[in-house]
Amino acid sequence: MAPPASSGIEEEIAVDRDGYDSSNATKTVCVMDASGHFASALVRRLLLRGYTELTAEVETMAAHNVLEACAQTNTVDKVVFTSSLTAVVWSNHRDNPTSHDFDERNWSDVNLCKKFKLWHGLSKTLAEKTAWALAMDRGISMVSINGGLVMGPDVTISNPYLKGAAEMYEDGVMASVDLRFYVDAHICVFEDVSSYGRYLCFNHVINCNEDAMKLARMLLPPSDTSTPPLSFEDTRVHPQRISNKKLNKLMVNFDGKFQADCSAD
């Protein structure tokens, strides 16, 4: 569907009422204006080939173009920018277990992402930083949702979010979010006039062997003979080091069907 003529959004931007991508593998910038439309920047053709360093450049340019279009459109009430936890957790901070939990104040280290070819984290970090810079410069009301691995019907082992999953698991920051709760969070931060800044969005942290095995079985096709057997030999529970307290507090009175079930103390 083409965007409304008054939106000022370029022709490659598709407008729909979903405003999210369940696989988290497609760049999505959610914008709701006064008439209730979501504008989604979808860089599909490139991302179908997988995340690369070039993807980061394309996502960053897309974020800039969409925010610039919003700045030029007087019907836009608030921008809800869909980002990722991978724009938060990849930094040298993860090497220090005594430091504070990861929260909205943390950003992934661009150089570290490049060094270890964490292209998903690099793309989300650069795109979100670009969006925030332009929003502040142009006076746009914006909030961002930094979601975990989105558990929708089409999530698979090939999801680019999972690059570095073993390290995230060991660090206590491997988090997932139910698709329906993810949608509720977007609606909540848009509707609540007190919402501001960034919100980490997840409702499950995979930090023990049993949860890791269950996730592997969900991500791999049923016919895959490489699906690991459930083992209870490893009984370690990695301490959770990521916090969603800010979003939980905002959504405490939100009339949604799904609420977060985990929060760092």
Q: Does position 72 have pLDDT exceeding 70, yes or no?
A: yes
Provide the pLDDT for residue 32: 39
Residue 237 is classified by DSSP as B
Q: Does position 144 have pLDDT exceeding 90, yes or no?
A: yes
Reported as a single tens digit per residue, the pLDDT across 211-229 is 999 999 889 877 655 555 5
Q: Does position 21 have pLDDT exceeding 50, yes or no?
A: no
- Which amino acid is residue 94, in one-letter code? R
Instruction: List, in sequence order, every residue forming a beta bridge with 137; answer none if it has no partner.
Output: none
Provide the pLDDT for residue 81: 97
User: What percent of the chain has a predicted confidence (pLDDT) above 90?
Assistant: 57
Cα–Cα distance measured from residue 183 to residue 158, given in angstroms and rounded to the nearest whole number: 23
Q: Catalytic residue numbers?
A: 124
The structure's pTM equals 0.77
Q: Is 211 exposed, middle or buried (0-12, 13-18, 19+ CB in 10 A)?
A: middle
pLDDT bracket for residue 92 (50, 70, 90): confident
Q: Does position 95 have pLDDT exceeding 90, yes or no?
A: no
Provide the pLDDT for residue 46: 47
